[in-house]
Amino acid sequence: MRIWLCSRTREYRRVAATVVLPGQWVVELGCHEGVTTSLLSKRRPGFVLGVDRSAHAVRTATGRFPQLHFGVADALDSQLHELRENLQNRGATLADVKACFLDLGGDARLSTVLHALANLHCLPHLELLVAKSEELVRLKKQSEMLVQADVGGLCCGAEKVE
């Protein structure tokens, strides 16, 4: 699996505009008002679904980008029930998702981001993960000595967008 860590919205959107290959099924967890989901759809993947736990954010995204698919789902749900339901309503399953963009807010607590990342075990064919988290990027930087010493760890093999 390829992993990209971003600390800023600009980096996150740059990855969204360049890294996803056409034909991939993509989910954005934490789509907010849909801007990054829109960028993902321009790459012409087979399917893009933006979800957010805020119904207000989803209504705003749907209003801004009516041609795209949005739904309410919480990335902190350990079985991703709402995401599963949103995908099923569009003829897909969790197994169809090849790429996941995760944006719980760049300043989200590390424990919250790690909780959401742990829930991605429900996506068995995930090939690409892009996470926006200042804390996760900070942790990666602090642990680079461990990675270089081949001790392995959380961010081993991760790529960072500068």
90/134 Cα distance (integer angstroms): 33
What is the model's pLDDT at position 45?
66
pLDDT digits (tens, 9 = 90+) for 36-92: 999 999 887 668 999 999 999 999 999 999 999 999 999 999 999 999 999 999 999
Residue 162 has pLDDT above 70, yes or no: no
Vertex 109: Cα angle to 108 and 115 (nearest 5): 100
CB atoms within 10 A of CB 147: 16
Give the CATH fold of the 2-160 domain: Rossmann fold (3.40.50)
Find out whether 51 and 29 touch, Cβ atoms under 8 Å. yes
Map residue 130 onto helix, strand or coil. strand
CB atoms within 10 A of CB 68: 17
- Counting residues of the chain whose pLDDT is more than 90, the rounded percentage is 71
The residue ranges of DSSP E strands in 40-160, in sequence order, are 47-52, 69-72, 99-103, 128-132, 159-160
Strand-pair category, 69-72 with 47-52: parallel
8/21 Cα distance (integer angstroms): 22
pLDDT digits (tens, 9 = 90+) for 20-44: 776 778 999 999 999 999 999 988 7
